[in-house]
Structure 1
Amino acid sequence: MIDHVHDLASVREATDRLLTAAAKLDDAAVAAPSRLPGWTRGHVLAHLSRNADALVNVLQGRPMYESAEARDADIERDAPRPLAAQLDDVRESAARFQAQGEVPADWDRTVELRNGVTDRAVRVPFRRLVEVELHHVDLGIGYELEDLPAEFTEREIDFLADRFSGNATVPPTRLLAGGREWRTGGEEGTEVTVSGTAADLLGWLAGRRDGAGLEVRGGTLPALPPL
């Protein structure tokens, strides 16, 4: 059972970790490339701020973003800001998200995210946690997939395995890590088994690693569709 109160607390802790780490940067480091192609660290921080506000929109029943173009334009506008402005925005937007999460609501209701994707409101705090944790790694400032809380790593593998489940472009795939097993992919073809550390498995599923650290049996490492 998903506990949105627990997840909101996890978001707060993860945001504090990110802010503490990012505060050690300077303006030049914020303008330097992140691990995401074409994005500086400023782009990542700007995205985190605008994503928090977008998820407030979702919880309040409004469109997540005005449009894809407006989303991208807002990130480009905010990316060049100095470190102090970035940190203030991440902190203040995070506070707005937390405040919305504390408003009494029907957490079983269906909400709409981007591109027509729907989900239960109770899953929105975990979706925010994914943004904060993975983009902290994307900043490339010493926080790695191995540093992620074990509970988060397992839940995100759960989510991504489910996301690719039934996708005919991915062969039937058995995933093994840390004594746990997942299945994903389509139903046609020979099953492939992919095993390794939870961090390497998450990195591959989330598009953060190429899978070189994983062991593959029964075929080659499947090519995953973009997230």
Structure 2
Amino acid sequence: MTDHAHDLERVREATDRLLSAASALDNAALAEPSRLPGWTRGHVLAHVARNADALVNVLGGRPMYVSAEARDSDIERGAPRPLDVQLTDVRDSAARFDAAGSAPGDWNRVVELRNGVTDVAARLPFRRWAEVELHHVDLGIGYELEDLPAEFTERESEVLALRFLGHPGVPPTLLGDGTRAWSTGQEAADPEVTVTGTPADLLGWLAGRRAGTALEVKGGELPALPPL
């Protein structure tokens, strides 16, 4: 069973790591490209802040975003802000999410996210943890997939494997990181393709952060995964 209180604590720790690392930047570094195509580091920090507020909306029974256009414009508007404003926004929005996530409530209730996606409220802290950890990596300031907590890497790999499970565009695939294994893609008794690698490389491929060239593939080519 998902322990939302445990995950909230992990979110706090991840947020502290991100803020500490980002505080060493300057305004010029913030305007440089991140690892996400078309986004500067300022875009990444603005998105991290707005995602916290969006999840507060979800916990409050409101739409995650007013619209896709409003989401994008908020990020664009926030991207060029100076570093001190960005850090304050990330910190304050994180505090709002923490308060909403710590309030008493029915954590088994179903909530709606973007594009009709639904989930159980108790899993929202983990979703937030994933946002903070992966976007910290996306900043390209020395925090790598290998630096992610082992618990997060294992759980997020499982989440992403399940996300692609049954997808018609992904062949039946068995994934392994040396100690754990998951199935993904079209369901079949005997997976066509086996993909193995280090936990960081496997997560990087599943999360669209690495091309998968370091992975060992047997039984066919490395499957092309749909965008997240």
Residue matched to 2:179? 179
Partner secondary structure for residue 193 of structure 1 = strand
Per-residue Cα deviation, 1:14-42 (whole angstroms, up to 9, x for no partner): 00000000000000000000000000000
Name the CA distance, whole Å, in 2 between partners of 1:50 and 1:176: 34
Residue matched to 2:209? 208
Name the CA distance, whole Å, in 1 between partners of 2:207 and 2:187: 22
Name the CA distance, whole Å, in 2 between partners of 1:76 and 1:212: 32
Contact 1:168–1:187 (Cα < 8 Å) also in 2: no
C-alpha spacing 1:162/1:190, structure 2 compared with 1 (3 Å)? closer
- Tell me the C-alpha RMSD between the 2 structures: 0.9
Residue matched to 1:93? 93
5 Å-filtered alignment, 1:107-126, equals: 107-126=107-126
Partner secondary structure for residue 99 of structure 1 = helix
Name the CA distance, whole Å, in 2 between partners of 1:187 and 1:207: 22
Letter of the structure 2 residue corresponding to residue 217 of structure 1: K
Contact 1:31–1:41 (Cα < 8 Å) also in 2: yes
Per-residue Cα deviation, 1:183-203 (whole angstroms, up to 9, x for no partner): 000036961000000000000
Moved more, 127-136 or 180-189: 180-189
Give the drift of 1:168. Answer: 1.1
Residue matched to 2:15? 15
TM-score (norm 2): 0.98
Name the CA distance, whole Å, in 1 between partners of 2:55 and 2:222: 34
Name the CA distance, whole Å, in 2 between partners of 1:111 and 1:168: 26
Q: How many residues align?
A: 227
Partner secondary structure for residue 29 of structure 1 = helix
Give the drift of 1:85. Answer: 0.3
Gaps of 5+ in 2: none
Stretches (4+) displaced over 6 A: none
Partner secondary structure for residue 214 of structure 2 = coil
Name the CA distance, whole Å, in 2 between partners of 1:5 and 1:163: 24
Contact 2:178–2:196 (Cα < 8 Å) also in 1: no
